Amino acid sequence: MSSQAPPAIPVAAARVRPREFDATEVIDRVVELFWDKGYEATSVADIVKATGLNKSSLYNAFGSKEALFERAIGSYVDTRVAMITSVLTDGSGGLDDIDRFFQLMETEVDSEFGCRGCLAVNTSTELGYRDAAAKAVSTRYRTHLRAAFNAVFVRAAARGEIASGVGATYAEILLGWLLGMAVVVRGGADRPEIGGQFRAARSLIESWRIS
């Protein structure tokens, strides 16, 4: 038997190559998972299955389930705010822009995944009263919604569509309605009930029109 030691394996070759993945794609998949099941009902095993990553890769990349959830809900809110801004804040009309927004919301609720409600609202009701990060992101979402509605009512008042000085009140009414509607949808309301809620809201908005 030879007494010579076997040749050393180069350090670079001995290293385990880390698995490469698209962090944005992982976040998108996790958004869908948390949106469907909620935070507490989602296990690490669920996340592993949904993303195709092992636990060590997940923890190395995102730190913890909580940190991953914060990234996911933040991404969701950013996406929603961009949509809301494009329709309401950046619109050129008044009450017609709000009507278009409600049409989009109703179409979304009526879609295959509409029964999940709104992830930001779901998070607020599940965790907001006892988790500072969840409360902060829910507050951020409401702040953007409120500002978007206010922007539309400023335009509506300037166009003579509504009375002056009432826009902020109308914005709060619509904000409360929209958040409540998300809870109703998540709670399993059927299509006729949801449709009735949307018709009532749009009728109320139209009643504010003075010209």
CATH of the domain at 142: 1.10.357.10
Answer yes or no: is 175 within a domain. yes
Total-model pTM: 0.84
- Burial degree of 129 (CB within 10 A; 0-12, 13-18, 19+): exposed
Write out pLDDT tens, residues 140-149: 999 999 999 9
Encoded tokens for 148: 């978007």
Answer yes or no: is 126 within a domain. yes
Write out pLDDT tens, residues 164-190: 999 999 999 999 999 999 999 999 999
Answer yes or no: is 28 within a domain. yes
- Mean pLDDT for 68-89 is 93
Structurally, the chain folds into a number of domains equal to 1
Answer yes or no: is 4 within a domain. no
**193: domain range?**
11-207
Write out pLDDT tens, residues 118-140: 999 999 999 988 999 999 999 99
Which residues, at least 6 apart from 61, have a Cβ–Cβ distance to it below 8 Å? 21, 23, 26, 53
Q: CA of 132: how far to CAs of 68, 129, 177, in Å?
A: 15, 8, 24
Whether residue 48 has pLDDT greater than 70: yes
